[in-house]
Amino acid sequence: MKKILLLLGLSTSLFSNAQTSCSGAVSITGLPTTDLTTGCVTATTSDATLSTVNGSTSGGCGAVVEEYWWSFTIGAGTPSYQIDLLNSTANRDLGFQLLSGSTTCSTTAFVGTVVSCQNATGDGGNETFTANNLAAGTYYVRVLSYQSQDVDFDLCFTFLAPPPPPPANDDPCGAIAVSVGANGVCTPATASNAGATATSGPAAPSCSNYVGGDVWYSVVVPASGNITFATDYSAPSTITDNGIAVYSGACGSLTEIGCDDDSGNGLMASLGMTGLTPGATLYVRVWEYGNDVSGTFVMCFSEPAPPDGNQDCNTANQLCSDATLNGASNGAGAAADLDATNQGCLFGENEANWYFAVVTTAGLLEFNVSPSNGSDDYDFAVWHYPDGVGQTCPPTVAPARCSFAAGSGLGSSYDTGLGSGAVDASEDASGDNWVQGITCAVGDIVVMLIDNFSSTTSPFTMDFTGNVGLSCIPVSLPVTLLNLNGIQENGVNKISWSTEDEINSDYYIVERKVGQEWIAIAKDFSKSGEGINHYMINDTDFDRMATNYYRLKQVDLDGDITDLGNISIQSEYDFSDVTLSPNPAKDLLNVGLNATKKAVYTLSVVDMSGKVLSSTEVTAQEGSNSFQLNVDELRQGSYLLVVNGEATVCRKAFMK
């Protein structure tokens, strides 16, 4: 915070010679009375001598050669001041005493109390002392010089306003009740940590550098048992880094059941909880990270909207018109719809909403996705199938349009979509949230994935702004693919898939990629009919020291062929799992690695352009391992951690 510098009034000139006894002390008037306002006087020790008040001693400040006396008077109230002795010239050693309670002050005597003695920094150093809650009366500042040489210096007083009283919700038993919004939409409530102190009852939270300054709120769990506790609503806030913890029990005996540091936007906390007891009262603890900033933040507590059931491609909702729609999701669904072959700019699913539509009026497909809470980071991908040819679920090709932009974009808005004058087809985390619209003809089919990267379960509004016409003309695929999986087990690569409602389907072909060609390795006839069907083939003739790629094709009774999807199977796994925390990261990124054997691994941080920013070799033991990477120098944005083993590569996305 900026300080205001005042020029204090003196009973003598502002550039004054030393007064060598308390009886001649220079009187300081007009001390500042506004918080963090500073007033200074400039003086010199020219012609100063040593008085006989204390001789060559200085009450613990060492032997003194010259001295200079000042006085000031405190009237009503009990103000606090920071007193600084600054800018001594000639690189000389100065100190000072603060004295009070004088009943005798003359050229030869001073009877009073030494409040403080400051002489710690040596030649050319500054000295400082904070005098808290000064009582009414006259005080003296005795400036001490330890060399016999003229020295200029500044004596400054900074007013320190008393801290505000603790808020009513400083402790859990004073928690302020907050309503829980329905359908993922809340009424934002501005809160403050001004005057907040450390809570003495519950133990310190398990996350986010708690050192006090917390405030408390309470909520009643809705019937669904689900609540999203967010503090990152897009509204002006002076606090930009906080933590949040949720407790169950009575206000005098609380148990932590959840804690979060940085899952919201930026460094703000956001905690989604499910399976809570309906009707129970929970206590919410909020604090600023490190307790070094006092200010405001905005809370947004809501009950997630029920998902539409379209979290997987095979359960996608068909859009019947270009009217505005609302959507919400609480997860990535049961199927792994995205992989490296079809996800484009995305990195898997977080909270997915799948849609498809048939174009009945040619035109430009444009839309606007707007997060209902104003701050969620929504990403999307659109697959375009002219004349409906090649449509599969999940898609087998990269999307025609894709946005993975992080945070706010054009106009500092979190809206995203097709249009707004964009000319690019795809954008990474550094994009502006907008890509070019798609020109569609009658009979085209579009498949859309809207994904909530923030994972708050808060819904969105999707408004179609182009002139394309959509209709619910039934779209019948010969086969609905439920899943396509591959695993290596006992030296055999097993490829399995499940389908539903096979219509006019003849058989399936499984192909393996050898070099640049796809080679058919198995054929399995369709079981046809309604209901769910399961298939599996075994491959024993594969490269055991590489990743093997497989493709599944479906052939109709009339000979039409549809690609149903690709999978890969990694041989001789070095590790089975990689975890990253916290995500987003701040200074350090914790990497959890579950290794199948002792080996050396390379951990590489890669930006969205594919540039390797750093590589670190680590030795992992068989089983669980934990490593830390310093990411302090990374700019805010999206990155990949690439883990390379002897025969295994894993890529994990993280935010900074």
Distance CA 435, CA 419 (A): 6
Q: What are phi and psi of 302, to 5 degrees?
A: -150, 155
Please check whether residue 650 is in contact with residue 578, taking contact to mean a CB–CB distance below 8 angstroms: yes
Distance CA 127, CA 627 (A): 44
Distance CA 497, CA 537 (A): 9
Element (H, E) at 559: none
Please check whether residue 327 is in contact with residue 428, taking contact to mean a CB–CB distance below 8 angstroms: no
Please check whether residue 561 is in contact with residue 515, taking contact to mean a CB–CB distance below 8 angstroms: no
Distance CA 599, CA 621 (A): 7
Residue 306 is classified by DSSP as: P
Strands 352-361 and 469-471, by their bridges, are antiparallel
Which CATH fold would you assign to the domain 172-302?
Jelly Rolls (2.60.120)
CB atoms within 10 A of CB 551: 21
Distance CA 569, CA 551 (A): 11
Please check whether residue 391 is in contact with residue 447, taking contact to mean a CB–CB distance below 8 angstroms: yes
- Burial class, 141, CB count within 10 angstroms (exposed 0-12 / middle 13-18 / buried 19+): buried
Distance CA 285, CA 276 (A): 17
Tokens of 548: 């093997």
Q: 575-655: which CATH architecture?
A: Sandwich (2.60)
Distance CA 635, CA 450 (A): 27
At residue 604, the pLDDT reads 92
Domain 480-570: give its CATH code: 2.60.40.10
For the chain, give the number of residues. Answer: 656
3-state secondary structure of 89: helix
Please check whether residue 347 is in contact with residue 332, taking contact to mean a CB–CB distance below 8 angstroms: no
State the number of CA atoms in the 13 A half-sphere of 349 facing the CB.
Answer: 25
User: Tell me, what amino acid is at 511?
Assistant: E
Distance CA 123, CA 101 (A): 31
Residues 6 or more apart from 250 whose CB is under 8 A from it? none
Of the candidates 584, 355, 345, 305, the one whose C-alpha atom is nearest the C-alpha of residue 454 is: 584
Sheet holding 37-44, edge to edge: 4-7, 37-44, 152-160, 80-86, 127-131
3-state secondary structure of 411: helix
Please check whether residue 441 is in contact with residue 359, taking contact to mean a CB–CB distance below 8 angstroms: yes
- Which residues lie across from 552 on neighbouring strands? 510, 565
DSSP alpha helices (H): ranges in 104-172? none
Please check whether residue 21 is in contact with residue 107, taking contact to mean a CB–CB distance below 8 angstroms: yes
Residue 164 — left, alpha, or beta (φ > 0 → left; ψ -120 to 50 → alpha)?
Answer: beta
Q: Where are the domains of the chain?
A: 4-160, 172-302, 315-385+394-468, 480-570, 575-655
Residues 6 or more apart from 13 whose CB is under 8 A from it? none
Of the candidates 267, 274, 278, 191, the one whose C-alpha atom is nearest the C-alpha of residue 228 is: 274
Tokens of 263: 């899952």
At residue 403, the pLDDT reads 96
User: Tell me, what amino acid is at 580?
Assistant: L
Element (H, E) at 135: none
Query: Could you write out the three-class secondary structure of 3-31?
Result: CEEEECEECCCCCECCCCCHHHCEEEECC
At residue 278, the pLDDT reads 93
Of the candidates 31, 228, 41, the one whose C-alpha atom is nearest the C-alpha of residue 139 is: 31
Tokens of 443: 């009979």
Q: What are phi and psi of 291, to 5 degrees?
A: 55, 45
Distance CA 22, CA 109 (A): 8
Distance CA 409, CA 370 (A): 12
Distance CA 154, CA 88 (A): 7
Tokens of 34: 């506004």
Distance CA 236, CA 71 (A): 45
Fold matches, 4-160 and 575-655? no
The CA-based angle 38-41-47, given to 5 degrees, is 155
Which CATH fold would you assign to the domain 4-160?
Jelly Rolls (2.60.120)
Element (H, E) at 597: none
Query: Could you write out the three-class secondary structure of 314-330?
Result: HHCEECCCCCCEEECCC
3-state secondary structure of 388: helix
Alpha-carbon distance values, 398 to 344, 345, 369, 532 (Å):
5, 9, 21, 27
User: Could you identify the residue written with the tokens 């005057």?
Assistant: 195
Q: What are phi and psi of 410, to 5 degrees?
A: -60, 130
Distance CA 394, CA 267 (A): 34
At residue 324, the pLDDT reads 60
Chunked into runs of 10 residues, the chain (656 residues) has average pLDDT values of 36 42 80 87 63 45 75 87 85 83 64 78 81 89 79 87 89 93 78 91 92 94 89 70 94 92 80 89 95 87 78 82 68 83 92 89 92 87 88 88 86 87 93 95 92 84 87 63 83 86 83 89 82 87 77 82 82 72 90 85 86 90 90 88 74 84
Cis peptide bond N-terminal to 394, omega within 30:
yes
Of the candidates 191, 195, 115, 193, the one whose C-alpha atom is nearest the C-alpha of residue 162 is: 195
Whole-prediction pTM: 0.47
At residue 428, the pLDDT reads 93
User: Tell me, what amino acid is at 578?
Assistant: V
Q: 315-385+394-468: which CATH architecture?
A: Sandwich (2.60)
Residue 488 is classified by DSSP as: E
CB atoms within 10 A of CB 59: 16
Please check whether residue 373 is in contact with residue 184, taking contact to mean a CB–CB distance below 8 angstroms: yes
